[in-house]
Amino acid sequence: MTLFNGLLCASGEQRGCDGVKNAQGPNGRWWRSPAHIGKEAPNYDVSFSPDMARGVLLYAVTTKDAASFRKWVKWIDESRPCLVNLGGNCFFQGWPRLCTDDTQDKRCTFRPQTCGDIELVGKYLGVAEADICRRVLKSFQIRDDYIIPQTELAFGGALVNEPGFPMHLAGAEIFMIDKLGKTSIYSRAGALALAVREPKNPFFLYLAEGPTEKVKELTLKVCPAAGETPHELHQWAWEREAAESAWADSMYWDCIFMGKLLGY
């Protein structure tokens, strides 16, 4: 999936970068994975989400692929829902979204953090069009100063997000902030909060300490050993609570990710 491929890409794994790049359709729209291009709800699960957008952002920051990023932002802008349609012509478009097949739960709708992330990466890549939320708010005649700095949002997420994948998403946000060179007292405090809340998660410990011997030992302790009996290959263990022992069904890519971060 695009989130995991983006994390792999940012760790230095080229196959992760290729996975994200190949998941973009010809019109700029990004999908769950290369194998899911064109697959939409209700016949399939919703085609994208703000969580997967983090994978795209990590890919864009790592590869500096401004052309693909700009194409994506253009598709997002053009694909906003139509609020006022007269005679087949749209006179007023609505809030940005990351897919067009989420009619049941609106999970592709931009969140405040989505706005800030895309704008932050746009500034890094020199893509001015990434200020899409500010432009839409202006068209609604609404002030745009609600967009909170991303480091502060990351700190809040690390403190209050529920255990499991919500905490992992906060970690992915801090990871991206570090990649952008925007590390602050807030993002550092967020990394420490994650490590304290889930001390057996090597990804969180890495965010707090870097590639220390302690992180290496914890990674080797939970990742499958060479020659180990085959198991179900379906978990990215770092998005699960340690109590679930999800590493017992590791897809291996989660461990390759940690290995790359540790310099292997």
pLDDT of residue 139: 87
Token code pair at residue 45: 């699960």
Tell me whether residue 200 is in a domain: no
pLDDT of residue 18: 98
Tell me whether residue 1 is in a domain: yes
CA separation for the pair 109, 87 (Å, rounded): 26
pLDDT of residue 230: 66
- Residue 148's pLDDT band (boundaries 50, 70, 90)? low
Query: What are the pLDDT digits (tens) for 159-175?
Result: 999 999 999 999 999 99
Tell me whether residue 232 is in a domain: no
Rounded to an integer, the average pLDDT of 108-129 is: 94
pLDDT of residue 154: 84
Tell me whether residue 61 is in a domain: yes
Query: What are the pLDDT digits (tens) for 249-262?
Result: 999 999 999 999 99
| H-type alpha helices, the chain | 2-11, 14-21, 50-63, 66-78, 112-125, 132-139, 150-160, 165-179, 185-197, 202-209, 213-222, 253-261
Query: What are the pLDDT digits (tens) for 51-107?
Result: 999 999 999 999 999 999 999 999 999 999 998 888 778 888 999 999 999 998 999
Tell me whether residue 213 is in a domain: no
Rounded to an integer, the average pLDDT of 124-137 is: 94
Do the Cβ atoms of 7 and 59 come closer than 8 Å? no
Tell me whether residue 241 is in a domain: no
Q: How many domains does the chain have?
A: 1
Rounded to an integer, the average pLDDT of 4-31 is: 98
Tell me whether residue 90 is in a domain: yes
pTM score: 0.94
Query: What are the pLDDT digits (tens) for 188-246?
Result: 999 999 999 999 999 999 999 999 999 999 999 999 887 777 688 899 999 999 999 99
Kindly tell me if the per-residue pLDDT of 117 is higher than 70: yes
pLDDT of residue 146: 59
Range of the domain at 8: 1-113
